[in-house]
């Protein structure tokens, strides 16, 4: 069994979440697509096809993966899966034949190709050639859903948490008289290596709750299902509502509702986070809060890369890119998009809904004068505090994204100047 996870031409619509990672590394439920497929096909040879600027970092992070290697791909029949695909069930290879291709709403989800077909793929036209091959097949319904925009991950998180709990066969592995469980204890999984303080309430009446290995939950915390607390995470006197994923090694407190904290997120203090996706190495200062509902209950528009997109949803919070930092009392408006390495300094009012990568906000004014070298130095320190390293490959990737996002920054700065000129 061989498989390849690929990114297609719509991956950029998941910005800022995909600025530093492939689409199949985005979390929904307990895990990302890559980790699910690894569990489904243990020991299988695997590869990925990613945007060229991600190749070096991905090879560094996953040395066993075949990254953008056409020679490897062309030797054996291979199952190719779209990184934006969210399957609704475990994949059965026996049901994936060479005569069909799985689609969802016109988007290719999977296709199995023979070596002679794989030899037609090129680095320049990988996605377009793959789509042509798929459209020559018998179209079948792939099942599950295709993630188009960042809020799709959040809106599907509750359902995916329930599905993951069921598919992984989780059940109560340990119990403690110090923990109050509401609902069926079989809907709660607590790793034997997790530490749960007294006076913790876990409510599984609306969905399952899983607490992974080496996680710590402090007293006076309430966790509503469906919810997942990742390995090594620490929860400090928090109110965690249903539909929330707290990723590996996060530090969280305050109130969180229907949000995904990817990993290594620091939200230690009070403040509300709702219907949001937060990328690694983000630090949310004390009392940082996100609005996720407009006062007129209308659908929320989100400025992705500066372009306003109608989410067609009533509840949408913020989407925050890697290494962004917010100071005390930062207040994010409904449907905000914040790029990577932004520096947010509040001024007692709602922040702009679009903050491009590498920009800084001070008293409501957008600027792009924070030196990149300072941001890189801060990132290295933050990662070192968690025993991680900002590698040379990652630094090169960040510098590349800095250049790629320059036009978005310039356009936002020009709009800000025009607003100031009419005031």
Given this model, what pLDDT does residue 6 score? Answer: 97
Residue 176: pLDDT band with limits 50, 70, 90: low
Spatial contact of 335 and 346, defined as CB atoms under 8 Å apart? no
Given this model, what pLDDT does residue 30 score? Answer: 96
Q: Among positive and negative, which fits the CA dihedral 161, 162, 166, 170?
A: positive
Given this model, what pLDDT does residue 259 score? Answer: 98
Task: Tell whether the model's pLDDT for residue 109 goes beyond 70.
Answer: yes
User: Hey, is 179 helix, strand or coil?
Assistant: strand
List pLDDT tens digits, range 44-100. 999 999 999 999 999 999 999 999 999 999 889 999 999 999 999 888 777 777 889
Token readout for 257 is 């509702």
pTM: 0.96
Of the CA atoms within 13 Å of residue 92, those in its CB half-sphere come to 4
Task: Tell whether the model's pLDDT for residue 172 goes beyond 70.
Answer: no
Q: Whole-angstrom Cα distance, residue 3 to residue 98?
A: 14
Task: Tell whether the model's pLDDT for residue 184 goes beyond 60.
Answer: yes
Residue 268: pLDDT band with limits 50, 70, 90: very high
DSSP letter at 337 equals E
Tell me what percent of the residues of the chain surpass a pLDDT of 70. Answer: 97
Spatial contact of 251 and 234, defined as CB atoms under 8 Å apart? yes
**Triad 259, 263, 266: Cα angle to 5°:** 80
Q: Among positive and negative, which fits the CA dihedral 303, 307, 313, 319?
A: negative
Residue 175: pLDDT band with limits 50, 70, 90: low
Got the DSSP string for 56-71? HHHHHH-TTSEES-HH
Given this model, what pLDDT does residue 348 score? Answer: 65
List pLDDT tens digits, range 289-317. 999 999 999 999 999 998 999 999 999 99
Residue 9: pLDDT band with limits 50, 70, 90: very high
Got the DSSP string for 241-293? -SSEEEEET-EEEEEEES-EEEES-EE-SS-EEES-EE-TT-EE-TT-EE--B
């Amino acid at each position: 069994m061989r498989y390849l996870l690929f990114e297609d031409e719509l991956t950029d619509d998941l910005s800022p979440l995909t600025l530093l990672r492939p689409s199949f590394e985005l979390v929904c439920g307990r895990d990302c697509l890559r980790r699910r497929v690894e569990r489904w096909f243990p020991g299988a040879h695997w590869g990925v096809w990613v945007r060229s600027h991600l190749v070096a970092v991905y090879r560094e992070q996953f040395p066993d993966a075949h990254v953008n290697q056409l020679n490897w791909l062309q030797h054996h029949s291979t199952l190719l899966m779209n990184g934006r695909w969210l399957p609704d069930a475990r994949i059965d290879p026996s049901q994936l034949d060479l005569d069909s291709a799985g689609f969802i709403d016109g988007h290719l989800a999977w296709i199995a190709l023979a070596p002679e077909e794989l030899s037609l793929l090129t680095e320049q036209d990988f996605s377009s050639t793959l789509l042509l091959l798929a459209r020559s097949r018998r179209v079948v319904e792939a099942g599950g859903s295709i993630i188009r925009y960042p809020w799709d991950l959040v809106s599907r998180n509750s359902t995916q948490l329930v599905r993951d709990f069921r598919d992984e066969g989780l059940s109560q592995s340990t119990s403690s008289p110090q923990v109050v469980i509401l609902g069926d204890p079989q809907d709660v999984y607590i790793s034997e290596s997790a530490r749960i303080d007294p006076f913790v309430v876990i409510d599984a009446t609306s969905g399952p709750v899983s607490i992974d290995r080496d996680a710590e939950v402090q007293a006076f915390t309430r966790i509503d299902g469906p919810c997942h607390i990742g390995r090594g995470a620490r929860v400090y006197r928090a109110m965690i509502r249903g539909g929330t994923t707290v990723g590996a090694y996060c530090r969280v407190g305050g109130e969180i509702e229907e949000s995904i904290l990817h990993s290594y997120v620091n939200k230690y203090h009070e403040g509300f986070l709702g219907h949001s996706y937060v990328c690694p190495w983000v630090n949310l200062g004390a009392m940082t809060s996100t609005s996720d509902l407009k006062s007129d209950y209308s659908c929320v528009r989100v400025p992705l890369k500066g372009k306003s997109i109608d989410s067609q949803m009533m509840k949408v919070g913020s989407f925050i890119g890697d290494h962004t930092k917010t100071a005390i009392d930062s207040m994010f408006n409904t449907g905000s998009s914040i790029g990577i390495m932004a520096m947010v300094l509040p001024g007692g009012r709602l922040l702009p809904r679009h903050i491009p990568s590498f920009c800084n906000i001070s008293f409501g004014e957008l600027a792009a004068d924070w030196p990149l070298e300072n941001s890189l130095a801060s990132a290295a320190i933050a990662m070192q505090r968690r025993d991680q390293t900002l590698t040379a490959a990652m630094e090169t990737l960040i510098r590349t994204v800095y250049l790629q996002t320059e036009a978005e920054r310039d356009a936002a700065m020009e709009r800000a100047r025009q607003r100031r000129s009419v005031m």
